[in-house]
Chain A
């Protein structure tokens, strides 16, 4: 199964700034998924990132706010742009464990606080 290294693990940022979160996978994967968990809420899919094409965003999420890069089959970044306190959340990346019937593996998360 894949192992994901995600960084940073946590950060405290000023409003109006941007933070880029990185995920490195130890094997090549076609699709990477980015999730957010706001306080007291469920894990929610932000977007799906394929190598060589633009990410596909879920309803309520836009590229200008959450630009994603996927330069190769083992790496992806998510940027949280022009942050406000409402962006304070845990952000997670994820890939499939072989196939969807085995579930997904996740990074250890980035805990973001915007002040």
Chain B
């Protein structure tokens, strides 16, 4: 059974701060690692799907890195804004269209 861990559980930063969260996952049977942003009362939104060891992806102020050998991924937000406030989910994908999610990191950015 896969076990995906995310840390920290929650984070409160000031506008303009840069921040990062961690997702750890079993490195065996790895196919892809997904990151989603989930704002309250909205749909989870796909941020990144990463497949290769050493992958680094960027979307605006948000970027992510992947280490499949040791089983972790980092999500970075540069210059956090209040609209970045959301829960950030990572999910491990073994290639059988079944995602195993972590419990998420809840980010609050204060003006």
Contact = CB atoms under 8 A, between A and B. Distances in A.
Interface of A: 4, 9, 31, 33, 40-45, 48, 58, 92, 96-97, 100-109
Given A48-B97, A101-B49, A101-B51, A4 B43 contact: yes
Interface in B93-109: 93, 95, 97-104
B32 interface: yes
Interface of B: 4, 32, 34, 36, 41-44, 46-49, 51, 89, 91, 93, 95, 97-104
A97 to B, nearest CB: 6
10 contacts: A40-B103, A42-B4, A42-B101, A43-B99, A44-B101, A100-B97, A101-B32, A101-B49, A104-B34, A106-B44
A44 B92 CA distance: 12
Contacts of B98: 45, 48, 58
A96 B97 contact: yes
Contacts of A92: 43-44
Contacts of A41: 103
Contacts of A105: 43, 46
Given A42-B4, A42-B104, A103-B34, A31 B43 contact: no
Interface-centre pick from B4, B32, B95, B101 (highest chain A CB count, 10 A): B101
Identify the interface centre among B32, B42, B44: most chain A CB within 10 Å of its CB.
B44
A44 B1 CA distance: 12
Contacts of A58: 98
A50 B98 CA distance: 14
B43 A108 contact: yes
Contact of B43 (A44, A102, A106): A106
A111 B102 CA distance: 19
Contacts of B41: 9, 108-109
